[in-house]
Structure 1
C-alpha cells in the first residue's frame, strides 16, 4: 500500500540524512536561510546533497534569495527549489532559468490565506501550506506551529499542496486522513532541540505516516 510522501527538512548531518533515507523519506530538505538553527551554506550542504540517493528529492529551502544563492545551491546538486517570500513573477523567472521544479511555501491562519497563497503560487509545482509565523518572528516557517487543518476541507486548493507546520509523530496520521495532502513536511517535529534531529523520532514519524 502506498503512503503519503514525506520530507525531512533541515538536515545538517550525515547520520540524520542516512536515517531519513532509511525511513523512506521522499525528499530531504536543506535550509539555506541563515537565521534558522537548521541553516547550512552551499559548501556545507554539497557533501550531504551528494550522499542523497538519486530517487530522493533534494530540496533547497530559500527565503527571498538573491540570484547568487540560488545558483550556488543548484550547483551543489539541489533538484527542487522551495521558496518563501517570493512573488509569482520571481518564481516563474527562477523556474525558467534553472529548469527545476519549484515549490512555494505560504503561511496560513485563515481560509482567505489559502486562497491568497493559491493565487500567488503562479507556476509552482507544489504549494506548501505552513502555519503563518507570529508577528515579528525571525523565521517564516519551521516554528513548530500548526494551523487549523479543517480550513482545508472547505478551502482546499485546486492544485497539488503539501502540509507543513507543527506536524508531529502524534498528529501526522490524523492530518493525512483529514486533508489528504500530496506531501507532509516535518522539521521541528522530529527534533530533540532547535535544529537537532532525533533518528528515533524520524523513524517514528515515518511509521506514523505509513499508519495513515
Structure 2
C-alpha cells in the first residue's frame, strides 16, 4: 500500500501497536532495526517476541543493519519474515550481490549524502542492490548511521537520474513532507525520528499524520 502514490517506510518500529497503525494508515514498508547502539534496537529475543503480533499481511518488512554479520541478518530475517535488508555499512556492490544471493532477500543500500558526489556514488550499486536510500550524513558525534533527525539539502536530489528506485530520508516530519517532495522529486520517503515522541518511542498520531501529509502532498502536486 502507498500514500496515494508516495511510498512511505516507517522505520524503527518496536511495538506491535504502532506497526499496525503504520500498516493501516498506508505504509508500504515497516522497518525494524538491529543495531545495539540505537534506541530502536531489537535484539533477537525481542524480535521473536514481537513477530507473532505484527500485521500478517500488507506492508513489506525491512531489517535495518549496520555492520551485522550474515548469520545474524539471516536469523533476524527468519524471525521477522523479512522481505528486505537495509544496509548502513561499508558494503561494496560485490558484498551486496553476494548477500542478496545468500539470503534470498531484496537489498536496500543506504548512502549518506553530504554533496552531489555522494549521490553519484549510487550508480555503482546498479545490478547489486534493489533500491537506494539517501540519508543525511550523521553528525560527527553520533554513533547512529541514521535516525538522527537531520536532513541534507533536498534539492540535491532534483533531477537525479537513477536506474534504481530510491527513498529520501533524514529529518522528515509531517510538516516537511510537502517541501521535501517538491524539492527532491522523490516518490518514496523514509521516516523514523520524525514520528516519535522520544528516541525510539513511536507515536501513533504522528505516524498517521505523516502518512496523511504524504497523501495530501501527492494529491496536490
Q: TM-score, normalised by structure 1?
A: 0.93
Alignment correspondent of 2:83: 79
Alignment correspondent of 1:65: 68
1:65 deviates by 1.3
Q: Per-residue CA shift, 1:120-149, capped at 9, x if unaligned? A: 465111100000112242011110011101
Q: Gapped runs of 5+ residues in structure 1?
A: none
Q: How does 1:84-123 map to 2 (within 5 A)?
A: 84-85=88-89, 86-120=91-125, 123=128
Q: Which has the larger displacement, 28-37 or 166-175?
A: 166-175
Alignment correspondent of 1:198: 203
Indicate whether 1:126 and 2:131 are aligned. Answer: yes
1:154 deviates by 4.3
Q: Gapped runs of 5+ residues in structure 2?
A: none
Q: Per-residue CA shift, 1:95-125, capped at 9, x if unaligned? A: 0011111100110010111012332465111
Structure 1 distance, partners of 2:211, 2:49, is 24
Alignment correspondent of 2:184: 179
Structure 2 distance, partners of 1:125, 1:67, is 18
Q: Which has the larger displacement, 160-169 or 115-124?
A: 115-124
Residue 9 of structure 2 is aligned with which of 3, 7, 12? 7
1:3 deviates by 2.2
Q: Retained in 2: the 8 A contact 1:91–1:122?
A: no
Alignment correspondent of 1:54: 57
Q: Per-residue CA shift, 1:78-109, capped at 9, x if unaligned? A: 11111111221111111001111110011001
Give secondary structure in 2 for the equivalent of 1:89: helix
Q: TM-score, normalised by structure 2?
A: 0.90
